[in-house]
Homo-oligomer: A and B are copies of this chain.
Amino acid sequence: MLTAARIIQEALRTGKTALSEHDSKRLLSAYGLPVVRETLVRDPGKARAAAAELGYPVALKACDAGLTHKTEHGLVELDIAGAAQLDRATTRLRSRAPAGAGLLLQEMVPGRRELIVGLLRDPGLGPVVMLGLGGIFAEVLADVSFRLAPLTAADTADMANELAGSKLLGPVRGMPAVDREALAAWLIGIGEIGLQHPEIQQLDVNPLIVRDGQHAGQLVAVDALIVLAPEAVPGAETESVRHDRPTRITGPTARVRREQAPLPVARGSLEPLFAPRSIAVIGASATPGKAGYEVLRNLEAQGYTGTVHPVNPRGGEILGRRVIAAIADLPAGVDLAVIVLPASSTPQAVRELGRRGVKAVILAAGGFAEAGDSGLALQTELEQAIQEAGVRALGPNTAGHVSTPSRCATSFFSLGQVRRGPVSYIAQTGNFATHTLRYILTSEHFGVARVVGVGNKIDIDESEVLEYLAADPETQVICAYLESLRQPRRFLEAARAVTPHKPLVMLKGGATAAGAQAAAAHTAALATDDRVLDGVLRQAGVVRIHEYSQLITAAKGLASMPLPQGNRVGFAAPSGGMLVCLSDLCRRDLNLEVPELAETTRQRLQDLSPPLVRLRNPVDIWPAVSQHGLERAYGEATEALLGDPNTDAVVIILMLVEQTGFPCLEFLVELAGRQADKPLYVSCSGDQPLMAAAKAYLEPRGVPTFSRIEEPFRVLDIAWRCRQAQLRAGQEQPRSRATTRELQ
C-alpha cells in the first residue's frame, strides 16, 4: 500500500516512534477499514466549520504522534452538543495539549458495544492479530483471542467464538449481530498490514465501535494507535525464548526481527539419528548403573542389529563387544555417536567424531546453558565444535532417544525392551526416555515409535523433529511436552501441515510463568505468552492439554482407537449416580454431548431391562446385569450403543466384583473390531484386582481402559478436538483402527 508506506516513512523520517491517531486511522483507511469521520483543525473557527459539516454531537481530541492515554490526561472531550460548547472545548484542549499537537474533530458514533482489535509483532512468531471485548472489560476480564497472520475467514470466526463474551457479538438485548464479514475484514486486514509493514511494531484499534442506529452491527474505528520500530533490524530468526520464558512476546522496547522462512530440511538429515546403521558409544563403561554401560545395555535390550562400537581408552570388552580405545580408531562410516562424557570433554569429542565422518551425535551431558554462566561458555564452545564437525546434534542435556523401528534406544537409563507402536514423543524433558517411559512400559500396553528428548536444542529442535515425524510412516500419534519453541513460526507451520493427518497433542510447560509487558498499546498489554500461544496453537490444529498424566492417557486412547466423527457419546455404567456425574462432566467441563438414542436402540435396551426402569442414554446397566448377568447385559448394551447412528463414541464402565466373578470380556474386543469407525473406551468400578485383570485382558487386544471413570471422557474430548482440527483443515482423513493395529 503506497499511502500506508508513505505515512510510515514520513513518520520515521521525522524521528517519530508512533503515528498520531489521525495518521493511524489514515493508514487503516488505506486498507479499506472503516474509521470515524474526522478532521484535523487548528483553531476554533476551523473547528466550528468542521463540526457544522460533520453534524453535532462531535468529539474533540488532542492529536500528536506518541500521545497515548488521552482520556486519562484530559485530552478528550466527548458529546459536544453545539458551537459554544465546542469553543470552550477547543480552548481547554489547546491549553492542556503538548506544544505542537493538533486538534482532531470527530463525529460521535452511536454504539453501546466496543471491541478492541490489534496487532503485535513477536520476534519469534511475527505479526499476531488480537480480537477482544473492548472498554473497561478488556482490561478487567482480558477476554481476548489471538491468531497468527495471515488469517483465514475461518480463523476470524474461531477468534470470535473463543471469546467468553462472544454472545455480545450476536443479536443481544435488541441490538443486531455484529456484521461477521466486516469483523473478518478487520482482522484479516490488520494481519495484512502487519505482514506488509515490518516497521509496525504494535497496532491498536480501541475502541472499534459496533454501530447502533443506522448501519447497526457495522464496525468503525474511533481511536487507533500505531507504534513503529525506529530501527527495523533484519537478521536471521533467533530463539525467541529463554529457557524458562518461551515464545517471548515483544515488549515496547523490543526490536523487530525479520521472520525467516522455514529451512527446507531434507528428511534424510535425521536418518542417522532415527535409523542408524552403526552406533559408537563414547565413554562406554563396564560398570552397571553408569551411563556408559546403560546405553549399551539399552541397545542390546532392543536387539539393535547394526554395529555397536564402545569407545573407552581402557579398552577391553563390554557386554561381549570389543572396546575401541580412541575415537580416532573408529572405522569410517559410523552413523551415530552417543557421547556420555562429562560436559567439559564433550566439545573435543565432537570435533574428533567429525573428523571420523560421524553423521550425528547425541550429547548426554548436562552442565551447559541450563547451568548458568559457566555452562553458557561451554555451550558456545560446543556450538562451534558442532559447526566445525559438520554433524547433526541432539542435546546437550538430553536423556537420549528411542527409535523402535530401528531397534534403537540411546537412553542412559535402564529401559528394558521398548514396545513398538504408533505413538511418538517430542519432549523437553528426559522423562520419556527414562522413568515415564518405564511407567508406560510397565503399566500401559501401547507402544512407541520415536521418542526424542530435545534437551538444550543446540542443533536439532522440536520443529525439525516434528517435520520428521510428519513424514514418518511409523508415527500415527504425536505427543509433545515443550517448555519453549526455538523456532515458533517453523513449529507452527509444521504443525499446520501434520495435524490434518496425525493428531498432535501438546503440553506446554511454564504456561503461567510469563506475564504481559507494560506497553503503550493495549494489545501488547493483553498479550501474555500463554494467551497468544493458546490461539496460535489452535490455529495450527495442535490440541493443547494441561496435565502431564494426559500425555499418557491421551496417547493410549489415540493409539488404539480411531478419532470420533463427532462429539456424541453413548455410555453405560452400573450406577445412576455415576451416569449423572459423568453427564455433568460432559456438559460442564468437556465439549461432549450425551445424545438421545434412536428409538430402535432404546427399545432394545428397554427389552434388556426390567419394565419399571425406563432406559435411555446414558444407560443404567445394573438392572439388566441383575437380570441377565454381566456378559449378556454389557454385551447387548455395548452392541446397541456402538450400532446407534446417534453416537460417535462409546464408553463402557464395567462393574467387576468378586460376587459376580470375572466375566469373559471377548465381546468388547469383538464389538470394537466390528464397529471400527467408533472409538470404544472402557473403565471399571469394583474390585481392584479384577479391574487390573480387565486392563490386562483388554489393552493388548486394542481396547483401552482407564482407571478413573472420568478419564475416558477427558480423553474422548481430546480425541474430538484432534478430529475438529482435521475437519477445520478441510481434510477428512480419519485413521482407521486397522492401520494402527497393524503397527502394534
Which residues of A pack against B, CB within 8 Å?
Answer: 72, 81, 112-113, 136-137, 139-141, 164-165, 167-168, 172-174, 289, 294, 366-367, 371-372, 374-375, 413-414, 416, 427-431, 435-436, 438-439, 442-443, 481, 483, 507, 509-512, 546-549, 574-578, 580-585, 587-589, 612-614, 655, 657-659, 685-689, 691, 707-710
Contacts and interface: CB of A to CB of B under 8 A. Distances in A.
Contacts of A429: 575-578
A709 B430 contact: no
A439 B576 contact: no
Contacts of A139: 172-173
16 contacts: A72-B173, A112-B136, A136-B172, A137-B165, A140-B172, A141-B165, A372-B612, A414-B659, A429-B576, A429-B577, A435-B686, A439-B686, A442-B688, A481-B577, A549-B709, A707-B707
A578 B372 contact: no
A576 to B, nearest CB: 6
A574 B436 CA distance: 10
Contacts of A113: 136
A246 B25 CA distance: 55
Specify how many copies of this chain sit in the oligomer. Answer: 2
B578 A431 contact: yes
Nearest to A414: B659
A569 to B, nearest CB: 15
Contacts of A688: 439, 442-443
Contact of A614 (B372, B575, B576, B657): B372
A588 B709 CA distance: 24
Nearest to A623: B366
Contact of A168 (B136, B436, B583, B659): B136
A602 B183 CA distance: 53
B442 A687 contact: yes
B167 A367 contact: no
A691 to B, nearest CB: 8
Contacts of A141: 141, 164-165
Nearest to A507: B581
A546 B588 contact: yes
A584 B510 contact: yes
B708 A584 contact: no
A366 B612 CA distance: 9
A480 to B, nearest CB: 12
A414 B661 CA distance: 12
A509 B371 contact: no
Contacts of A431: 575, 577-578, 685
Given A136-B168, A371-B612, A710 B547 contact: yes
Contact of A687 (B172, B439, B575): B439
Given A172-B140, A612-B375, A581 B547 contact: yes
Given A435-B686, A512-B587, A588-B511, A174 B72 contact: yes
A379 B558 CA distance: 48
A575 B658 contact: no
Contacts of A587: 512
B435 A575 contact: yes
Contacts of A294: 659
A436 B655 CA distance: 9
Contacts of A430: 575, 577
A438 B165 contact: no
A587 B687 CA distance: 35
Contact of A427 (B577, B585, B588): B577
Q: Choose among A167, A416, A439 the residue with the greatest number of B CB atoms under 10 Å from its CB.
A: A439
Contact of A435 (B164, B439, B612, B657): B657
A83 to B, nearest CB: 15
A321 B589 CA distance: 52
A674 B688 CA distance: 32
A691 B26 CA distance: 66
Nearest to A297: B659
A655 B547 contact: no
Nearest to A613: B371
A443 B695 CA distance: 15
Residue among A136, A168, A371, A414 having the largest count of chain B Cβ atoms under 10 Å: A136
A549 B708 contact: yes
A413 to B, nearest CB: 7
A66 B584 CA distance: 38
A256 B193 CA distance: 61
Contacts of A442: 686-689
A137 B135 CA distance: 12
Contacts of A168: 136, 140
Given A139-B172, A547-B581, A685 B439 contact: yes
A344 to B, nearest CB: 11
Contacts of A436: 575, 685
A507 B580 CA distance: 11
Nearest to A707: B707
Contacts of A659: 289, 294, 413-414
A687 B438 contact: yes
Contacts of A589: 546
A192 B71 CA distance: 41
A174 B70 CA distance: 13
Contacts of A691: 439, 443
Contact of A165 (B140, B173, B709): B140
Nearest to A481: B577
Contacts of A581: 481, 507, 509, 547-548
Given A112-B136, A165-B140, A547 B511 contact: no
A206 to B, nearest CB: 13
Contact of A588 (B371, B443, B507, B512): B512
Nearest to A575: B431
Given A140-B168, A707-B707, 12 more contacts: A140-B172, A371-B612, A374-B612, A375-B612, A416-B658, A428-B577, A431-B577, A439-B691, A483-B577, A510-B584, A548-B710, A549-B709
Question: Which interface residue of A414, A581, A613, A687 has the most chain B CB atoms within 10 A?
Answer: A581
Contacts of A81: 81
Contacts of A72: 173-174
A705 B584 CA distance: 27
Nearest to A589: B546
Nearest to A440: B688
B657 A136 contact: no
A427 to B, nearest CB: 7
Contacts of A585: 546-547
A176 to B, nearest CB: 14
